Amino acid sequence: MANPKKFIITLDGPASTGKSSLAKRLSNKLGYIHIDSGSMYRAATLFALRLDPERILRPNIFVKYLSEIKIDFKKNHEEQKIFLNNEDVSHEIRKTYITNEVSNVAKIPELRTFLVNKQKEFGKNKGVIMDGRDIGTIVFPNAECKFFLTAKVEVRAKRRYLEQLKQGINQTYKMVLDNLIMRDGLDTKRVNSPLKKAVDAIEIDVSNMTLDDVYKKLLTHIKKIK
């Protein structure tokens, strides 16, 4: 049975606004489940590319195999791990070849329907914080608490570039910036559930805020609802 005290929190916005880190921190604080919906699109991208020996995306073939995709999340020492057909792919899905293809996979309508249904399932008992692009608009239009984070693309690129340096990913700032501009374009212009602020979402421009400041601001809003 749904817990009446818990609700659904949605956190949408373009790439590298800190959504996942914030959602993770909030979920630990509130005792909520955190679902990073972007990682589901990434896992599906890995699945799609593995169907082809040359790792070329073939949407017509891919859609025939959707029912063979099983995605689970498991928490291991505060770390959220994602499993694709029982294989831990948490590390693999962050690699550049996935990042470069994921927006093309995410625009396939059959995949979106498939993953949105799974995402709704995760929220059926409430107590969920989910981050992504269409969570407040399409996945949980009736969520009690919705946020939409924005930030200048240069600020996001710098953040992502520094993060990747730490992880040993070898991309220049310019490559990161170009990739974000490309993904922003694909995410906002696609026909199916584009990146868009829900009318009832609280919009926060995080360009000049630390992650800590944003976290405190989100928590203040959430506490008002509780």
Give dist(CA 75, CA 163) in Å, integer: 22
Least distance to ligand DC, CB of residue 134, Å: 5
Residue 101 makes contact with ligand DC by CB under 6 A? no
Among 17, 80, 90, 103, binds ligand DC (CB under 6 A): 103
Which of 121, 220 has the CB closer to ligand DC?
121
Which residue intervals of 12-69 are DSSP H helices? 19-30, 37-50, 59-62
Report the phi/psi class of residue 126: left, alpha or beta, with left for phi > 0 and alpha for psi in -120 to 50.
left
Among 46, 102, 143, 157, binds ligand DC (CB under 6 A): 102
C-alpha 221: how far from chain center: 21
Which of 144, 184 has the CB closer to ligand DC?
184
Which of 56, 185 has the CB closer to ligand DC?
185
Q: In this structure, what DSSP letter does residue 63 have?
A: G
Least distance to ligand DC, CB of residue 40, Å: 7
Among 25, 42, 126, 159, binds ligand DC (CB under 6 A): 42
Which of 4, 17 has the CB closer to ligand DC?
17
For residues 171-190, which are near ligand DC according to CB under 6 A? Answer: 183, 187
Which of 15, 145 has the CB closer to ligand DC?
15
For residues 112-151, which are near ligand DC according to CB under 6 A? Answer: 132-135
> Do residues 206 and 151 lie in contact, with contact meaning Cβ atoms separated by under 8 Å?
yes
Residue 15 makes contact with ligand DC by CB under 6 A? yes
Size of the site for ligand DC (CB under 6 A): 15
Counting other chains too, the contacts that 43-46 makes at CB distance below 8 Å and 24 or more residues apart are 43/69, 43/71, 43/82, 43/84, 43/89, 43/93, 44/69, 44/71, 44/105, 44/111, 44/115, 45/93, 45/98, 45/101, 45/102, 45/105, 45/106, 46/84, 46/89, 46/92, 46/93, 46/98
Q: State the residues that interact with ligand DC by CB under 6 A.
A: 15, 37-39, 41-42, 102-103, 106, 132-135, 183, 187
